[in-house]
Amino acid sequence: MNIHEFQARELLASAGVAVPRGAVARSPEEAESIARSLPCNSFVVKAQVHAGGRGKGTFKDGFKSGVHLVKTPAQVRDVAARMLGNQLVTHQTGPEGKPVHAVLVGESTEIARELYLAIALDRASSHPVLVASREGGVEIETVAEKNPAAILREQIHPGLGLQPFQARKASIFLGFPSTGLRAPCRLIHAVYRLFLERDCSQVEINPLAVTKGGDVVALDAKLNFDDNALFRHKEIEALRDASQEDPRDLAAAEHHLNYIGLDGDIGCMVNGAGLAMATMDLLQAAGGRPANFLDVGGGASEQMITAAFKLLQGDPRVRVIFINIFGGILKCDVLAQGIVAACRTAAPRVPVIVRLQGTNVEEGRKILRESGLKLTAAEGLTEAADKAVAAARGK
Ligand code: ADP
Ligand code: MG
């Protein structure tokens, strides 16, 4: 789960990380009054969306940049008025962008250096990893590509935790003098503690700024949380902003479906995460593009199958539905009943390719055959994928 920058700042501040003064506003007037209450003479106004790259983003109406530096509270109000209710498009949002319902109004910081600091999960080693770079303010992926030596990656032993020498090593790498390591080390430890205590999958501060006065402050913060740990962080779950999430993902979550929306046009319904991954690979290999990952799981009920089928049907990207089920715990006849029930409420608007194997396969096929629905049956996996790709191309 993602949260907004203004929420991430509060969590960082409560962990002991310095952030510039500021507050969130949901109207231009509120933005102006926050600016008037800040003891400074230049301000930053930042669009709050669940995406990075806001500074270089562009709003749907052509207004440039989701991060503005301005001089007066009246200008804060004007910039907020342009942002609120608008859609911000960045390289992370997709072409439709994300809606802006809030802006962060803060004091503008006099920046001497922009650094990068993150704690993430390294899946290869199954360890948290501390990532640091002196080249902050730009995408870390770009730094990794152009100048990989500028990035320090320090593995953290999950049992021992972040060691003091590791925080010192990172601080020195970030260019702090050996006589001034205390503040950055304290900050790095605070960030690691936050990562652990809140079950984050990532804490990214980019940029971490060194101010002209020599302070170290987090100017931007991106926090991601492990969905599987949210049950023990109700305070984090309460920060969810559904307006920033893919409506397809929200509908899937409502029915407890393991679903991830993608960009292609072949809607997939599969049981088992492994088979679902393999199905997407096969579609790619056959020249097609999946519109989603969907694992209906082993214990799916008829209602869940119906909900899953409706979800695929309702996705305007989908040009063909590909059902690939290996009946084990989920029996083929239960699946067939679910599909028939879904089609009774709304006839399929796209071709449906079905590959069934396993438990109760004959009963399942019979239900589909006798339903009168126009379905294309397939037996082999490759054959099924080829049929789905051909159907997506309108053949
Ligand atoms: P994003 O990463 O989404 O583009 P950031 O918050 O990192 O958004 O802002 C982009 C850039 O704007 C930063 O790299 C920094 O140079 C500048 N910036 C952000 N916040 C402030 C601030 N409070 N004061 C001065 N400059 C800022
Ligand atoms: Mg940033």
Task: Assess whether pLDDT exceeds 80 at residue 395.
Answer: no
Rounded to the nearest angstrom, the distance between the alpha carbon of 98 and the centre of ligand 1 is 18
DSSP per-residue codes, 372-390: T---EEE-SHHHHHHHHHH
Q: What is the pLDDT of residue 251?
A: 87
Reported as a single tens digit per residue, the pLDDT across 292-306 is 999 988 777 778 888
Q: Is the shortest distance between the CB of 89 and ligand 1 below 6 Å?
A: no
Catalytic residue among 5, 30, 204, 259: 204
- Say if residues 353 and 320 touch (Cβ distance below 8 Å): yes
Amino acid at 5: E
Q: Is the shortest distance between the CB of 44 and ligand 1 below 6 Å?
A: yes
Q: What is the pLDDT of residue 80?
A: 98
Q: What is the pLDDT of residue 151?
A: 98
Average confidence (pLDDT) over 138-143: 92
Domains of the chain: 21-107 (3.30.1490.20), 111-237 (3.30.470.20), 247-392 (3.40.50.261)
Amino acid at 119: I
Reported as a single tens digit per residue, the pLDDT across 182-234 is 999 999 999 999 999 999 999 999 999 999 999 999 999 999 999 899 999 99
Verify whether residue 204 is a known catalytic residue: yes
Reported as a single tens digit per residue, the pLDDT across 11-23 is 999 999 999 999 9
Q: What is the pLDDT of residue 301?
A: 79
Rounded to the nearest angstrom, the distance between the alpha carbon of 200 and the centre of ligand 1 is 22
Q: What is the pLDDT of residue 345?
A: 77
Verify whether residue 96 is a known catalytic residue: no
Residues 6+ apart with CB under 8 A from 236: 1, 3, 198, 225, 230
Q: What is the pLDDT of residue 170?
A: 98
Residue 162 has what DSSP assignment?
Answer: S
Reported as a single tens digit per residue, the pLDDT across 150-195 is 999 999 999 999 999 999 999 999 999 999 999 999 999 999 999 9
Whole-angstrom distance, CA of residue 216 vs CA of residue 274 = 45
Average confidence (pLDDT) over 109-113: 96
Reported as a single tens digit per residue, the pLDDT across 37-80 is 999 999 999 999 999 999 999 999 999 999 999 999 999 999 99
Q: Is the shortest distance between the CB of 137 and ligand 1 below 6 Å?
A: yes
Rounded to the nearest angstrom, the distance between the alpha carbon of 67 and the centre of ligand 2 is 10
Q: What is the pLDDT of residue 82?
A: 98
Written as six digits, the tokens of 137 are 């303010």
Reported as a single tens digit per residue, the pLDDT across 324-373 is 988 888 889 988 888 888 888 777 889 999 999 999 999 999 999 998 88
- Say if residues 102 and 88 touch (Cβ distance below 8 Å): no
Reported as a single tens digit per residue, the pLDDT across 231-271 is 999 999 999 999 999 888 888 888 888 999 998 999 999 98
Q: Is the shortest distance between the CB of 114 and ligand 1 below 6 Å?
A: yes
Catalytic residue among 5, 30, 32, 116: 116
Residue nearest ligand 1's atom 11 by CA: 55
